Structure 1
Amino acid sequence: MKLTTNSQRILHELFMQEYQDNSAYTDEGAFFEKFGAEQVMKVFDLSDEEVESGVLGAGNDGGCDSIYVLLDGVLMTEDIVNDISTSKDATIDFIIIQAKRENSFGEDAIMKWKTTTENLMEIGVDDTEFIGRYNEDLRSAFSLFRNLYVKLLRRTPKLNIRFFYTTFATEVHPNVQSQADELRTKTLELFPSPKTSVSIDFWGADRILSAAQAQPEQKIQISLTEPPINIGNHHDYVTLVNLGKYYRFITDEHGDLRKYIFEANVRDYQGHNAVNQDIQASLEAPTVEDFWWLNNGITILTNEAIPVTTKELILTEPEIVNGLQTSNEIFNYFHSYPNNINLETRNILVRIIVPESEESRDRIILATNNQTNIPRSSLRANDPIHRQIELFFKGRGLYYDRRKNYYKNQGKKSSDIVSVSFLAQCLISLILQKPNYARARPSTVIAQDETYERLFIENQDLDVFYKSAYLGKKVEHCLKKSNEFTQAQKNDILFYVLLCVVAKKLETTNITPKAIKEINLEYLSDEDILDSAIQVFAEYDALGGDGKVAKGPELIDKIMQIASTTERANIPLVGATV
């Protein structure tokens, strides 16, 4: 690939550095698919785990290297869609990405998109007739989109269908642009609604480089209506902020919502219709009352609040922990009426708090959100046990991401970051022996009280959590490096392989927390994992080798038979230093 511009050369160097830091990837083209998707999806503040979940990574992808379905900015999975509840003015984003490590945009990619869209995007299509033509992950992604759209149809959602073509190119040939225009027209014909928008974005070297070098702002300035009230001897403030100025605070230079400043567990909650509609109504139909008279306001936690002038503060790593729905409606209002930003005279009440400790931070989040309708399960990452897990992991080279993307934004490697849901999936697979449940419900595994209480037991030995996560990440890393399986197959068998290899090492299918604690991590090799993976895959393939098998109960029995009958070496379990 010939690189002729400085942007191309810099992007190439940056990409190669990222590639060399990700040892799980052995193919530059495959890593560029993940790299390209990561840049495009930055605006949605997805975790590395979420980005990788959308990368198809197999042949027969219809020109779609990555696909993401989002509802109001929240990544959708099958288990979430089944229980979805949203407001009337919901927004669906259906994002399709093609990432090629080439220095030009080609017509072929657009032509593939036209065919794939025609075959799979139409509501009511029977995609079983395309089993031989398109891979399972692609068909599942389009099915997820269709199911979500149909489920929300009576609520007339806004639909954004967005195609992104990412390469090292510097320009778009007119013929390619013509193909893109045809794709847009054909896609709009499938969803002929004034609330549907279709775009085809060409991301060349300049645009990718700009996204790759962009980092979340650590310090953000907020302008106040009047000098704030300072509470006690602390740098905590109560103040009024003009609605237009607040909009500036929660958006970046491109006018996009700074999702990373919203506390992750709160922001993913889908609010009730009436609440959002009331806020929207008060914004669009001003009354004699100021806005802050009619609204509970916003709570912001920050590491530091420094006065710049009497009416300006600089907040370090601000985090909005209460007032999500209000903030979103303010964003939607000014996004729809940008001319009103500088004309706005109304205000919102803002509380700015500098917590003295992590414990204080968590108590504030729980207290402020207990006064709303947010389910307790949405705030579980703030329970003391998760704070203990985070501290324990950090001293052993793993980073527990109970504050979504906190460690990613600090530059930690994705291979060392463990999400709350991933740890829960590992525990469910090992302690409950339900890898099918872990595979089928990746986003809601700890939503049920009974399941949560069995996994995250108070005063549980923290080694149990650490070793479960360590083993899960090791299996994940080993499968990523393997060329034996497709990406869809790796996703399907991951937690079965984890269960199998641990049961074989422990020489028992009765895996208890105590047994996990005693596992000697030094004696688990890549060869052990690959051996179990091959055995698991053989059974998985014999049963049909698809997502339905991975999410069903039959494969578990097969894995337990392997674990209980395979001859094992007599390897010590205890005594090694972790």
Structure 2
Amino acid sequence: MDKIIESFIEDFKTEFNYEKIDKSKLFEHYVNYVLISKIYPDRSSLDKINVGGTRNPGIDGLAIMTNNHLVTSQEEVDYFIQDADLLDVEFNFIQSKTSESFDMGDIMTFIASVKEFYKDGELLFEDDLLNLRDLKNYIYKNSIKMEKSPSLKLYYATTGKWLGDINLTTIINSGIQDLKSLDLFSDVKFIPVDGDKLKSLYREIKNKITKEIIFEKHTILPKMDKVTESYLGILPVTELVKVTSDDDGELIKTIFYDNVRDFQGFNKVNTGIKTTIERKNANDKFVLLNNGITIVAKTLNKVGSAFKISEFQIVNGCQTSHVLHHMKTSLEPSIFVPLKLIVTTDDDTINDIIRATNSQTEVKNEAFEILKPFHKKLEEFYLTFEKDVNKRLYYERRSRQYFGAKAKSEKIIGLSTQIASYIAMFLNEPQSTQRYFGELLNSYSNRLFLDNHSLFPYYTSGLAINVIEELFRENKLNYTSKKFKYHLLLMFRIQVAGAKVPINISGNKDNEKYCTKIMEALWDRENALKIFKSLELKLESVLAETKVLNRQAYLTRAFTEELLPTISNAKKEGKLIYYNFQKGFGFIKVNNSEDETFVHYTELSKVKINEIVPGLELLFDIFQSPKGAQAKNIEKKDIVKKSI
């Protein structure tokens, strides 16, 4: 293998702490990372696209993109349908080989596996890929919401050099035609990725993006507090396309990460932008009809009208930038777009700019979430544990906030990971973590990131997901359990600190003590592993008995309800104190406590109707639902005694 690629892979292994993974699997992860980072710059997405396995002979990675977002569940697709009322879908398949040549047999296997993915009937793929196949079917069932059929990209990566061999090209073109004949795609592309490309892609990720533009028509704005320099003017649209394009002419999606509004496709507004460009007699008015672009850069090197910007984000103008990039071959340099260029390193100033420049148009509430003061406080709270390497984590409020700093990637907790871990661990909803984070923010808006919340549960849940990920990376937990990692977090919390969570209010000492019990168990890695291993066995036991389809169990509330009662070693005892036959529910008083728990008639199947009276002694498990404690797995106390 090329020595430079080897060094890049070593760097990748260290950054993500993949020390215990074998070389071939490490290479797959490296390739998936460098390719998908161009499409979706979120570190937490890596695990979602790694699908390589012995039963997936030709597919090592799969990223299904819907409306520019990586999706892995039907709920996420539903969210984007409701949000934009249309679907823009792209399937990205990846096959990786460490060999230094493009092998015809491997390429044919790759194409054949992709074709099998789109066929009906039973397949022997790994569970992760089967679930994504189910998702593919669901997407096509909603094809009425698509303006065009999904696009398909096949990336085949090796460490060798792509020379355009005619025999390989013939095989590839034949495979493309076979896939097109399925009549499922608007476009099919096979993209060979050689060693040189793998190196350049990794350099792009690791290095600060720098672009040079010719910005002749500008004026210097007055000096402002916490702003190094700023300019206002008009920029040729061809220069803007230079800013938004990589070396391959593809759109650099990472520079829109801080934009609060995703590209909305060719809706009415964006179609209007496109029409204005197409109407040559209206080109000169484009600068008057467009709201313009706002670029925030960390550094600027200016020589005359040549502006070299580095570490920049387009924080407003995502729609215009996408449309212009789409039309880049038909743009005239005489067409101008308003540009506001601001140079600052102050995060609060950047947040103010993002909020102000996006206030004129309707933007989803969740887009502004990270700008709230709560997240600044949470970031600072994480840093209070910085001195101890075993406790050290970093909460990343802004994209690439810790880029080039001392923070390793596996120590960084992003917004989507924080949301998922907290909802799973402290709101008892691990099955909901597959939903798009924006939907979770909306659904849990009155229970998440509230100003009066204690910060301890957030750090605790971030620590928990970090520790369990570490144990999976080191192969100390079974890989098959990984899709249930959020369930294991919830089980861990209950096992260590008990099912009843103190009220999450800042200053609540009971809440702090509760979280400290969990944190101490997690900081002791040997103890944490022992607990997680025991919970893993309980998980496997419930999976063996459940009627829920195993590969989809992690997505269902029903499985969560089956799982949680198994954490307690002994059933609770109590007496029925109230029951309403008409409404089908009642309450049980738990012995030796002041607690009462709800009971639904469906849980009393083992008790005869004429025996359901106040004072009836019962044995049961308690499940903490969003509406409160509920009794599950109920049995009459005397029945149990007779069976002993």
TM range (shorter): 0.7 to 0.9
**1:278-297 matched pairs, under 5 angstroms:** 278-288=272-282, 289-297=284-292
Matches of 2:269 and 2:77, distance apart in 1: 21
CA-CA distance at 1:326 after TM superposition: 0.9
After superposition, give the CA deviation of every residue in 1:323-371 in whole Å (9 maximum; x if it has no partner).
Answer: 110111111111x43xx4xx42121111123457322322221222222
Aligned to 1:112, which of 93, 102, 109? 109
* Structure 2 partner of 1:144: 135
After superposition, give the CA deviation of every residue in 1:444-471 in whole Å (9 maximum; x if it has no partner).
Answer: 453325x133121214232321121011
CA contact (8 A) 1:435 1:499 kept: yes
After superposition, give the CA deviation of every residue in 1:144-168 in whole Å (9 maximum; x if it has no partner).
Answer: 3343355345643264311112222
* Structure 2 partner of 1:368: 357
CA-CA distance at 1:548 after TM superposition: 2.5
TM-aligned CA distance change 1:42 to 1:430, over 3 Å: closer
Matches of 1:53 and 1:350, distance apart in 2: 37
* Letter paired with 1:144: L
Matches of 2:112 and 2:243, distance apart in 1: 42
CA contact (8 A) 2:62 2:92 kept: yes
* Structure 1 partner of 2:507: none
* Structure 1 partner of 2:323: 329
CA contact (8 A) 2:233 2:339 kept: yes
CA contact (8 A) 1:96 1:164 kept: yes
**Which ranges in structure 2 are unaligned for 5 or more consecutive residues?**
387-391, 505-510, 572-644
Q: Secondary structure at the match of 2:446?
A: helix
Matches of 1:455 and 1:90, distance apart in 2: 29
TM-aligned CA distance change 1:512 to 1:474, over 3 Å: farther
* Structure 1 partner of 2:638: none
Matches of 2:264 and 2:406, distance apart in 1: 30
* Structure 1 partner of 2:173: 181
**1:423-438 matched pairs, under 5 angstroms:** 423-438=418-433
CA-CA distance at 1:282 after TM superposition: 1.0
**2:459 matches 1:471:** no
* Structure 1 partner of 2:204: 214
* Structure 1 partner of 2:253: 259
**1:542-553 matched pairs, under 5 angstroms:** 542-543=545-546, 544=548, 546-553=550-557
Q: Secondary structure at the match of 1:77?
A: coil
After superposition, give the CA deviation of every residue in 1:57-110 in whole Å (9 maximum; x if it has no partner).
Answer: 433114111101124543233232112248899753211111123333334433
Matches of 1:171 and 1:224, distance apart in 2: 38
After superposition, give the CA deviation of every residue in 1:477-525 in whole Å (9 maximum; x if it has no partner).
Answer: 21333376345x412x101111111211113354654122553243452
Q: Percent identity?
A: 20
Matches of 1:89 and 1:284, distance apart in 2: 24
* Structure 2 partner of 1:380: 369
**2:506 matches 1:508:** no
TM-aligned CA distance change 1:518 to 1:20, over 3 Å: closer
CA contact (8 A) 2:465 2:489 kept: yes
Matches of 1:357 and 1:483, distance apart in 2: 42
* Structure 1 partner of 2:183: 191
**1:294-373 matched pairs, under 5 angstroms:** 294-309=289-304, 311-334=305-328, 336-337=329-330, 340=331, 343-355=332-344, 357-373=346-362
How large is the RMSD of aligned CA atoms in angstroms?
2.9
**1:161-176 matched pairs, under 5 angstroms:** 161-170=152-161, 176=168
CA-CA distance at 1:424 after TM superposition: 1.0
TM-aligned CA distance change 1:394 to 1:302, over 3 Å: farther
* Structure 1 partner of 2:237: 243
TM-aligned CA distance change 1:286 to 1:478, over 3 Å: same
* Structure 2 partner of 1:274: 268
* Letter paired with 1:465: Y
Matches of 1:390 and 1:82, distance apart in 2: 32
* Structure 2 partner of 1:576: none
CA-CA distance at 1:198 after TM superposition: 1.9
* Letter paired with 2:568: S
TM-aligned CA distance change 1:411 to 1:108, over 3 Å: farther
After superposition, give the CA deviation of every residue in 1:116-145 in whole Å (9 maximum; x if it has no partner).
Answer: 3333315xx3x4x22xx1122212223333
Of structures 1 and 2, the one scoring higher in RCO (CA 8 A, sep 6+) is 1
After superposition, give the CA deviation of every residue in 1:540-574 in whole Å (9 maximum; x if it has no partner).
Answer: 3432563431111233234322332279xxxxxxx
CA-CA distance at 1:169 after TM superposition: 2.8
**Which ranges in structure 1 are unaligned for 5 or more consecutive residues?**
568-578
* Structure 2 partner of 1:526: 529
Q: Secondary structure at the match of 1:452?
A: coil
Matches of 2:549 and 2:482, distance apart in 1: 11
CA contact (8 A) 1:242 1:347 kept: yes
* Letter paired with 2:537: I
Q: Secondary structure at the match of 2:80?
A: coil
Matches of 2:410 and 2:314, distance apart in 1: 28
TM-aligned CA distance change 1:184 to 1:256, over 3 Å: same
CA contact (8 A) 1:243 1:330 kept: yes
How many residues are aligned here?
A: 543
CA contact (8 A) 2:262 2:318 kept: no
TM-aligned CA distance change 1:402 to 1:17, over 3 Å: closer
CA contact (8 A) 2:58 2:111 kept: no
Q: Secondary structure at the match of 1:314?
A: strand
* Structure 2 partner of 1:83: 79
Matches of 1:186 and 1:88, distance apart in 2: 31
Matches of 1:462 and 1:402, distance apart in 2: 15
Which has the greater radius of gyration?
Answer: 2
